[in-house]
Amino acid sequence: MKEKVILAYSGGLDTTAIIPWLKENYDYEVVCCCIDVGQGNELDGLEERAKLSGAAKLYIEHITDEFVDEYVLPCVKAGAVYENKYLLGTSMARPVIAKKLVEIARKEGATAICHGATGKGNDQVRFELGIKALAPDIKIIAPWRCNETWKMQSREDEIAYCKAHGIDLPFDASHSYSRDRNLWHISHEGLELEDPANAPNYDHLLVLGVSPEKAPEEGEIISLTFKEGAPVALDGKEMKASEIIAELNKIGGRNGIGIVDIVENRVVGMKSRGVYETPGGTILMEAHTQLEELILDRDTLAYKKGIGDKFADVVYEGKWFTPLREALQAFVESTQRYVTGEVKMKLYKGNIIKQGTTSPYSLYNESIASFTTGELYDHHDAEGFINLFGLSLKVRAMMMEANKEK
């Protein structure tokens, strides 16, 4: 019997061309595996395409709820945002995909896992770190790094290669954006985005929504309900978190929410420019932030900001299956015990505008905070506090003054 390889399969031109390449160069039996994390109609016709390309079998694993509950929500609770803008849509999905690839490899008795990520990107790092952490004995094949056998450098090359192997597929050589999609977001790279001097062609680029200029003239008010840091209801209707995100994508998309144009620092050392659409995720993250600012005490909120930044770095770098991620997540979970309440927002032409936040665990006390101060706060107490709080500044100033006189 031939050895088996598990191919992370999307059905696109790259992974389609990889099937005959694996058979030709390794004499493997190719088992394709497509992990459904909410990429929608991209899954249509995959089984026929995989078999036509020479695959022995195709797995389609529907794991959107697992993706959201075990990978997305921890990032939401952490407030994990990479370089102040990127909500980690692609990064969060890679570890669960790697996990499923390993599970299928074990089930099939495969000796290798193959992915189609390029040698310039982050995904090769994320896939391979995940596989190494979960199955250190399994061989990893990355065709784009196999310079001696992978000769294809363009879509034209790949189409010609497929045709030479009797595979006639509905792909053409026309250029398009390089995209990655799941329930949380869709990313866009390539074409005019390769030059940071160019403005994005939003009319041609956007998939999940419209630009703020084309959003409705009237704002749309929504409410999100959270329990222990996780969303549980939208506009009072209880739903699964995945259903809430799907609905928020529609609402946010039509209001021009969550479009980010960023030049980011990749793990492999280069800068890259991309546009991310994350309409539902942007709303969800903002609502969670608004609720936390009402509930968490000052020291916890400040310290958690640093934890969130580190969590984002860990996820971005593909280090999900590490003790550090587990420890960071444990801290975050401990902060979410009382992050329960309702957040109302108006969505208007790309903006998210507060409409009121309520929680039974709010630390905001109107009696203390209002100008009409109640009995809990005495203005005179501030004088002694300021004297002590500023004592080191006063002592230093006295020392500097004394030394001027010498």
User: Are both 200 and 136 inside the same structural domain?
Assistant: no
User: Which distant-in-sequence residues (6+ apart) come within 8 Å of 163 by Cβ?
Assistant: none
Is the distance from CB of 40 to CB of 15 less than 8 angstroms? no
Count of structural domains, the chain: 2
Mutual angle of helices 155-164 and 13-26, in 10-degree steps: 50
User: Are both 101 and 250 inside the same structural domain?
Assistant: no
User: Which distant-in-sequence residues (6+ apart) come within 8 Å of 139 by Cβ?
Assistant: 111, 112, 113
User: Are both 150 and 182 inside the same structural domain?
Assistant: no
User: Are both 219 and 353 inside the same structural domain?
Assistant: yes
Q: CATH number, domain at 37?
A: 3.40.50.620
User: Are both 32 and 137 inside the same structural domain?
Assistant: yes
Mutual angle of helices 391-404 and 381-389, in 10-degree steps: 50
Catalytic positions, written as ranges: 14, 94, 123, 178
User: Are both 216 and 126 inside the same structural domain?
Assistant: no
Burial readout 136-158 (b: 16 or more C-beta within 10 A, e: otherwise): eebeebbbbeeeeebebeebeeb
Query: How many angstroms separate the Cα of 345 from the Cα of each of 3, 286, 311?
Result: 55, 9, 27
Q: Tell which of 164, 198, 220 closes a domain.
A: 164
User: Are both 223 and 120 inside the same structural domain?
Assistant: no
Q: How many Cβ atoms are within 10 Å of 230's Cβ, its own excluded?
A: 20
Confirm whether 332 is domain-assigned.
no
Domain that holds residue 43: 4-64+84-164
Confirm whether 278 is domain-assigned.
yes
Residue 358 is inside which H or E element, if any?
strand 351-358
Three-state SS letters, 145-212:
HCCCCCCCCCHHHHHHHHHHCCCCCCCCCCCCCEEEECCCCEEEECHHHHCCCCCCCHHHHCCCCCCH
For 225, which DSSP code? E
Distance separating alpha carbons of residues 159 and 176, to the nearest angstrom: 15
Is the distance from CB of 176 to CB of 54 less than 8 angstroms? no
Q: What are the pLDDT tens digits along the chain (406 aa)? A: 899 999 999 988 899 999 999 999 999 999 999 999 999 888 888 888 899 899 999 999 999 999 999 999 999 999 999 999 999 999 999 999 999 999 999 999 999 999 999 999 999 999 999 999 999 999 999 999 999 999 998 888 999 999 999 988 777 767 689 999 999 999 999 999 999 999 999 999 999 999 999 999 999 999 999 999 999 999 999 999 999 999 999 999 999 999 999 999 999 999 999 999 999 999 999 999 999 999 999 999 999 999 999 999 999 999 999 999 999 999 999 999 999 999 999 999 999 999 999 999 999 987 676 666 667 788 889 999 999 999 999 999 999 999 986 6
Distance separating alpha carbons of residues 24 and 268, to the nearest angstrom: 30
Confirm whether 74 is domain-assigned.
no
pTM, two decimals, is 0.94
Confirm whether 395 is domain-assigned.
no
Is the distance from CB of 235 to CB of 168 less than 8 angstroms? no
User: Are both 204 and 258 inside the same structural domain?
Assistant: yes
pLDDT in tens, 318-331: 999 999 999 999 99
Q: Give the residue among 256, 263, 201, 235 at the shortest CA–CA distance from 343.
A: 235
Confirm whether 366 is domain-assigned.
no
User: Are both 186 and 53 inside the same structural domain?
Assistant: no
Q: Tell which of 164, 191, 211 closes a domain.
A: 164
pLDDT in tens, 225-246: 999 999 999 999 999 999 999 9
Confirm whether 29 is domain-assigned.
yes
Confirm whether 45 is domain-assigned.
yes
User: Are both 9 and 52 inside the same structural domain?
Assistant: yes
User: Are both 260 and 352 inside the same structural domain?
Assistant: yes
Q: CATH number, domain at 186?
A: 3.90.1260.10
User: Are both 115 and 207 inside the same structural domain?
Assistant: no
Confirm whether 304 is domain-assigned.
no
